[in-house]
Chain A
Amino acid sequence: MPRNRKLDASRLPTFLAALAAYVAGSSRRRARTNCDRSNLMQSTNVAHPILAVRGVSKTYEGGFQALKSIDLQIARGEIFALLGPNGAGKTTLISIICGIVNLSAGEITVDGHDIGRNYRAARSKIGLVPQELTTDAFETVFDTVSFSRGLFGKNKNPAHIEKVLRDLSLWDKRDNKIMTLSGGMKRRVLIAKALSHEPELLFLDEPTAGVDVALRREMWEVVRKLRENGVTIILTTHYIEEAEMMADRIGVISGGELILVEEKAELMRKLGHKELILHLQEPLSDVPPGFSDYDLSVSADGSMLTYSYDTNAERTGIGSLMRRLAEEGIRFRDLSTKQSTLEEIFVNLVEDRP
């Protein structure tokens, strides 16, 4: 697979099928060892969570059940990525936590404050960047961000607003009307509004949907800076690449159920494969006979031989492969290794299954 393959939402069906397969697989493993289950539990329970979601369900009028008993805890200072397809319940969950949608059952606390009984304390800690570009039109950037700060009960602080606008490269646009801004700038205005009252918990609902590559990287930079300042971030995304780059933990939601919560590193370690790529001196037309024990493939032009191996296996087989290649007189001029991406993990899961 090419290294920098462009990831997009069109790959999502594959990704989800892979996930379903993974979940089915993990339940089989659970039956066997019961250890995956405890891992899962460990990663949903954290000490002194900034956000605790317990048994939250949502059934919309008309009977559609958007969420089915969600349990989730978010640790202070982490970046949590919520993955899932359209209609999985990501936005519903965020909307409930932020007070935009009523919950049907369950309990949510933000920094220990119940979002219903103690909504003022809970909400004042939350910043929300919605998915849609819903901004005012005629207000200036500075005014709309100041408005948000006031709405969240904070006293005026032009210095803080200036800092937020500068961090988001919006300071030059402070006196512009929002309607004159580009889509990417409007997105940043929404982030500025969400940061205007110095929240401890920030929700970014698809922050990079419909945003070009340069701006996406800029957004990631913003998110990193925020994390350095101790802000806890929950982001939803279609881009698995994004989750992989940013997140400490990953949750996958599908059909209103949180089907997986896992440390990203753990997930990658458990399910990750590595590839050893040998750049050959003389091209091969096919995998040489006698190497069927190894998971080898030859590139189309025959110049590269790729060996896939499991990082968790007791023996990776690299040593023996090298010896065998030398014995066969297959020489190479360079080698490289490549770790599988989060997306590839899921894709591989599908491909590995009959």
Chain B
Amino acid sequence: MNLNAVAAIYKFEMARTFRTLMQSIISPVISTSLYFVVFGAAIGSRIQEVDGVSYGAFIVPGLIMLTLLQQSLTNAAFGIYFPKFTGTIYELLSAPISPIEIVLGYVGAAATKSIALGLIILATATLFVDLRIEHPLWMILFLVLTAVTFAMFGFIIGIWADGFEKLQIVPLLIVTPLAFLGGSFYSISMLPEFWQDVSLVNPVVYLISGFRWAFYGTSDVSIGVSLAMTLVFLGATLAAVTYIFKTGWRLKS
């Protein structure tokens, strides 16, 4: 195991985060705060409790997930796409490192950053609403699993993308809609029955549901199913990454 290489990539990527502190940390925190003001304070006061939780508090897990998904994905995608774009990928390909080590470096850094962001948003949320976390360990588990899974997903997108447009298109056209429709702002049980069934196809539903359960002990689907689905998705991204490095797809000619 070439741990020096993992450390080098991780450090490089984290340095990038700190260089772009404004864009990396502050802007997601500001936009999430705006959600709290609009949905939590302004509109939320007119909405009755959901599953016994005030609406402002109810949306906190969903909002953290929303940021977590987007940030893990775009960070990992950009992290691996940029060397491809500038050509510095040659060094990565010619170094004595295994695919696992490359993924650990990039995905680890992207996940670290989005987990930190998630925790910052959580801290910010306590300024606006009363929060309780019934299962803190599960909360951390879902936070980490989701961050890693979507960083893996982002890594794949970064390798697949051959232009900046493709890099933007997946987060914009797929992940954001899935997160909004996955119960960030509502409980799936509030939907008509048909749309409840449709929602079950959306993997983000399981992530948000499991995460919310860790906070308030209530969920749309059972925690076991949530965890299983998260692990399935993680497994799928792992398989895809393995395939990519085995064949050199989009990396080597």
Q: Which of A128-136, A236-244, A279-287 contacts B (4 or more CB under 8 A)?
A: A128-136
Question: What are 26 residue pairs bridging A and B, where the CB atoms are less than 8 Å apart in the complex?
Answer: A60-B253, A99-B93, A99-B94, A100-B90, A100-B93, A102-B252, A119-B96, A120-B2, A120-B96, A121-B96, A128-B90, A128-B91, A134-B88, A139-B12, A139-B15, A147-B8, A147-B11, A148-B91, A149-B8, A150-B5, A151-B97, A152-B95, A152-B96, A153-B4, A153-B5, A153-B95
Distance in angstroms from B142 CB to nearest chain A CB is: 32
In contact, A100 and B4 (Cβ under 8 angstroms): no
Q: A101 at interface (Cβ–Cβ under 8 A)? A: yes
Please state if A193 and B91 are interface contacts (CB–CB under 8 Å): yes
**Does B248 sit within 8 A of A, measured CB to CB?**
yes
Query: Does any Cβ of B come within 8 Å of A154's Cβ?
Result: yes
B87 lies within 8 A of A101 (CB) = no
A113-132 interface with B by 8 A CB criterion: 119-124, 126, 128, 130, 132
Which range holds the interface residue count of chain B?
A: 20 to 34
Quick check: B252 and A101 within 8 Å, CB to CB? yes
- Residue B9, interface by CB 8 Å: yes
Residues A153 and B88 in contact, CB atoms below 8 Å apart:
no
* With A134-B90, A139-B15, A143-B15: A100-B96 Cβ-Cβ less than 8 Å: no
B80: min CB distance to chain A, Å: 14
Q: Quick one: which of B43-88 are within 8 Å of A by CB?
A: 86-88
A122 to B87, CA, bound (A): 22
Partner among A100, A135, A153 whose Cβ is within 8 Å of the Cβ of B94: A100
Q: Is the interface of B mostly helix, strand, loop or mixed?
A: helix
Contact B87 A132 (CB under 8 A): yes
Which of B5, B87, B95, B97 counts the most A-chain CB atoms under 10 A from its CB?
A: B95
* B5–A151 touching, CB < 8 Å: yes
Interface residues on A, range: 35 or more
* A196-B97 Cα distance, complex, nearest whole Å: 16
Residues of B within 8 A of A150 (CB): 4-5, 7-8, 11
A60 to B252 Cα, complex, angstroms: 11
A351: chain B residues at CB < 8 Å are: none
Known contacts A147-B11, A151-B95, A154-B4; 10 further A-B pairs (Cβ under 8 A) = A98-B90, A99-B94, A101-B252, A120-B96, A123-B96, A134-B90, A139-B15, A150-B7, A152-B4, A153-B96
Q: Does B229 contact A (CB under 8 A)?
A: no
In order of increasing CB-CB distance, the 7 nearest A-B pairs are: A150-B8, A134-B87, A123-B96, A120-B96, A98-B94, A153-B2, A151-B95
**Selected contact of A102 from candidates B8, B87, B94, B253, CB within 8 Å:** B253
A138 within 8 A of B: yes
Q: Is A130's CB under 8 angstroms from B8's CB?
A: no
Residue from A128, A134, A151 having most chain B Cβ neighbours under 10 A: A151
A183 to chain B, nearest CB (A): 15
Once the chains bind, are B96 and A155 in contact (CB under 8 Å)?
no
**Which chain B residues border A120 with CB–CB below 8 Å?**
2, 96-98
Chain A residues, Cβ within 8 Å of B7: 150
Chain B residues near A (Cβ < 8 Å)? 2, 4-5, 7-9, 11-12, 15-16, 19, 86-88, 90-98, 248, 252-253
Residue of A148, A153, A155 with most chain B CB atoms under a 10 A cut-off: A153
Render A326-344 as a binary contact track against B, CB cut-off 8 A, 1 for contact: 0000000000000000000
Which residue on chain A has the smallest CB distance to residue B248? A102
Q: Which A residue sits closest to B97, measured CB to CB? A: A151
Is B94 a contact of A126 with CB atoms below 8 Å? yes
Contacts of B253 in A (CB 8 A): 60-61, 101-102
Q: Which residues of B contact A61 (CB under 8 A)?
A: 253
Contacts of A146 in B (CB 8 A): 8
Residue of A nearest to B82 (CB): A136
Cβ contact within 8 Å between B252 and A100: yes
Cα A122 to Cα B95 with chains together (Å): 10
Asked whether, in the complex, the Cβ of B87 is within 8 Å of the Cβ of A151, the reply is: no
Looking across the interface, which residue of chain B has its beta carbon closest to that of A62? Answer: B253
CA A152 to CA B12, docked complex, whole Å: 14
From A102, A122, A134, A152, contact of B86 by CB (8 A): A134
Q: How far is the CA of A349 from the CA of B87 in the complex (A)?
A: 40
Q: Which residues of A contact B12 (CB under 8 A)?
A: 139, 147
Nearest B-chain residue to A153, judged by Cβ = B2
Residues in chain B near residue A135, CB distance under 8 A: 86, 88
Q: Quick one: which of A132, A151, A153, A193 contacts B92, CB cutoff 8 A?
A: A151
How long is the Cα–Cα vector from A99 to B11 in the complex, in angstroms? 24
The CA-CA distance from A152 to B98 in the complex, in Å, is: 11
Report the Cα distance A136→B98, complex, angstroms.
Answer: 22
Interface string of A178-196 (1 = CB under 8 A from B): 0000000000000001000
